[in-house]
Amino acid sequence: MEAFYDNEFAEDAPPVVHFENVGVRYGMGPEVLRDLTFSIEPHSFQFLTGPSGAGKTTLLRLILLAVRPTRGLISLFGEDVSGISKNALTDVRRRMGVVFQDFRLLDHLTTYENVALPLRVQGKEEASYRAEVVELLRWVGLGDRMHVLPPVLSGGEKQRAAIARALIVRPDLLLADEPTGNVDPSLARRLLRLFIELNRLGTSVVIATHDFSLMDQLDVRRLVLGDGRLHIDE
Amino acid sequence: MSELSHARASRSSAPEGDKRPLPASLRRNAPLVPVDSAGGQALAAVIAILTFLAALCAGGAELVASSSTQWRSDIAREVTIQIRPNPQRSIEDDVARAVALARQTPGVEETQAFSKAESERLLEPWLGTGLDFNDLPVPRLIVLKLQAEAKPDFTKLRQALRDQIPGASLDDHALWVSRLSTMANTIIGVGVILVALVLLAAGLAVTFATRGAMAGNREVVDVLHFVGASDDFIAREFQRRFFKLGLRGSMVGAGAALAMTVTLGFVTRSWRASPAGDQLEALFGSFSIGWRGYAVVILIALAVALITGIVSRLTVRRFLNGNG
Ligand SMILES: Nc1ncnc2c1ncn2[C@@H]1O[C@H](COP(=O)(O)OP(=O)(O)OP(=O)(O)O)[C@@H](O)[C@H]1O
Ligand SMILES: [Mg+2]
């Protein structure tokens, strides 16, 4: 196994994500999350869980900087992000892979183009990534669906396309929101193995789920949200 | 699991080359920002119409510009002496004296005195035939053709004519030339302003269309941001999309304008025999725009397409900066 990530992340590397007393509300509503203080270490693997509506998606959106905290401090890759510039934001996002709960595939692009999108927006030549995109698509079982537009895909196929899109850049941080919600248990296991493999290569993985059968397959840290607060099961 | 390792390994070692060939259909590279086809068609149509109008304005201005230079040089190279008949004098003697005086003026290349019959024929179009011109005091004209580039001084000639031949007057057409120039310059100025206004209107139409496309593609723009696209990248994508739309529209508009000019050229040529044709030709020359005219029309089409692309890019940047 390639081990170059281990050198990159020395023991004292800053946490990939660090929250300090973070609270957030939507508009004038009640605080959805409050007093969150936690870190996600480089190379770590954790589940994020809690009942529906507990704020798992909201927490991931905070990390993505799609939602700004109403109070508290967030740092990503060791940098405080409260006054982050647009360019720095773009750089941070290029280090993250996201699987959205609702997939967010672009309906006017084929599966192949959707998966290649993160590379394309970095200005890479198509010839330089074509083979690896095709390989990854085959691996997630979409080898014969790559020229199809997303509206034609089944829920599980869309999910796999969304996962492939998040993995293609081999991010430093993977955020996956219910990545196995639409697939059968055996495919869920296969996808989980994919995340484990990615983690072994150095990526910090956060999987939001309320699927206990999935979490029981792996004895890792669990971030549990309830009543807007975070409780950590090491 | 080993499959993935293989994928990773192949990624870092051999990205391309020795692999089995991949289907060419993979290179689809659809535009990243879908401009919805109805809105896109409407914008292309608006741009086509605006380009058509701008091309006509510019073509017209260019036509006036080139034919007015011709008029001016033609008219300025001629001076006329008019001699009004005076019952106490022999008009033929007066004409001969005037010709002699004119010939002494440096810069005059040629003199042409209209005979009585010729002068009467000049009046025919206005007075009709079958009139007895003996009853009318028909003035006589002497046309002096000047040497090219010569700017003779007519004060002496004018003075001599006044002293020796009462009823003779010299017209160097200066008033005419200056009036024509003013008129031509006004027409050209108005044409330029119209072109500028039309380009401005095209820019505004593109701004609105871009804002509409941005609002309609909010989800797409968000996803592009999340997967690591910079504002600049997104703005360039919009620019590319709108440049193509603009180019399509402006080519259609410019093509229509050129087609219309060519058609009008044919029509006026077939009219040439008729008096109306003569007048049109007097005003516009042969009504065919030269290569400069074509160049102006094509330049305008390109300018419109460029404006479309650049304006949409700037609009996207403004929009993205204003929306966090
Ligand atoms: N855009 C929004 N505007 C207002 N309230 C919101 C918005 N998004 C989420 N919420 C509220 O925030 C709370 C947390 O929602 P969130 O989507 O984070 O929950 P979740 O844990 O992801 O739920 P699920 O497991 O069903 O996906 C909910 O009460 C929800 O109604
Ligand atoms: Mg959710």
Chain-wide mean pLDDT for chain B? 80
Task: Check pLDDT > 50 for residue A3.
Answer: no
Q: What is the extent of the structural domain holding A36?
A: 10-100+170-233
Answer yes or no: is A111 within a domain: no
Task: Check pLDDT > 50 for residue A4.
Answer: no
Contacts of A160 in chain B (CB under 8 A): none
pLDDT in tens, B132-161: 767 777 888 888 888 877 677 778 888 888
Percent of chain B with pLDDT over 70: 81
Pairing mode, strands B108-113 and B140-146: antiparallel
On whether the CB atoms of residues B278 and B208 are closer than 8 A, the answer is no
Confidence of residue B35 (pLDDT cuts 50, 70, 90): low
pLDDT in tens, A56-96: 999 999 999 999 999 999 999 999 999 999 999 999 999 99
Average pLDDT over residues A176-197: 90
**Ligand nearest A54 Cα, by number?**
1
Give the helix/strand (H/E) hosting B17. none
Q: Which residues pair with A64 in a beta bridge?
A: none
pLDDT in tens, A108-148: 999 999 999 999 999 999 889 999 999 999 988 999 999 99
- What the block records as the tokens of B279 is 């007048």
Q: How many CB pairs under 8 A join A and B?
A: 99
Confidence of residue B17 (pLDDT cuts 50, 70, 90): very low
Domain boundaries, given as residue ranges, for chain B: 38-73+177-322, 85-166
Answer yes or no: is A192 within a domain: yes
| DSSP state for residue A98 in the 8-state scheme | E
Q: Which numbered atom of ligand 1 lies nearest the CA of A50? A: 21
Q: How high is the pLDDT of residue B5?
A: 45
B36 touches chain A (CB under 8 A): no
Residue B134 phi/psi, 5-degree rounding, is -65, -25
- Contact between B5 and A128 using a beta-carbon 8 Å cutoff: no
- What the block records as the tokens of B28 is 């689809």
Task: Check pLDDT > 70 for residue B94.
Answer: yes
Q: How high is the pLDDT of residue B16?
A: 40
A18 or B64, higher pLDDT: A18
Answer yes or no: is A186 within a domain: yes
Answer yes or no: is A79 within a domain: yes
Helices A155-167, A111-120: crossing angle, 10 deg rounding: 20
Percent of chain A with pLDDT over 70: 95
Q: How high is the pLDDT of residue B28?
A: 60
Answer yes or no: is A20 within a domain: yes
Answer yes or no: is A127 within a domain: no
| Beta carbons within 8 Å of B62's beta carbon, 6+ residues apart | B191, B289, B292, B293, B296
CATH code at A200?
Answer: 3.40.50.300
Contacts of B228 in chain A (CB under 8 A): 90, 93-94, 118, 121-122, 169
Average pLDDT over residues B285-304: 80
Answer yes or no: is A122 within a domain: no
Q: How high is the pLDDT of residue B275?
A: 63
Residue of A nearest to B30 (CA): A109
Determine if ligand 1 sits within 6 Å of the CB of residue A56: yes
Confidence of residue B18 (pLDDT cuts 50, 70, 90): very low
Q: How high is the pLDDT of residue B23?
A: 55
- What the block records as the tokens of B160 is 């001599």
The total number of structural domains in chain A stands at: 1
| Beta carbons within 8 Å of A90's beta carbon, 6+ residues apart | B225, B228, B229, B230, B231
- pTM of structure: 0.77
Q: Which numbered atom of ligand 1 lies nearest the CA of A210? A: 25
Q: How high is the pLDDT of residue B8?
A: 43
Distance separating alpha carbons of residues A216 and A233, to the nearest angstrom: 13
Ligand 1 geometric centre to CA of A226 (Å): 13
A116 or B24, higher pLDDT: A116
pLDDT in tens, B208-252: 999 988 888 889 999 999 999 999 999 999 999 899 999 999 999
- Contact between B28 and A110 using a beta-carbon 8 Å cutoff: yes
Q: How high is the pLDDT of residue A32?
A: 94
Q: Is A22 helix (H, G, I), strand (E, B) or coil?
A: strand
Q: How high is the pLDDT of residue B70?
A: 77
- Contact between B32 and A134 using a beta-carbon 8 Å cutoff: no
Least confident of A175-179, B123-127, B155-159: B123-127
Confidence of residue B7 (pLDDT cuts 50, 70, 90): very low
Chain-wide mean pLDDT for chain A? 91
Answer yes or no: is A146 within a domain: no
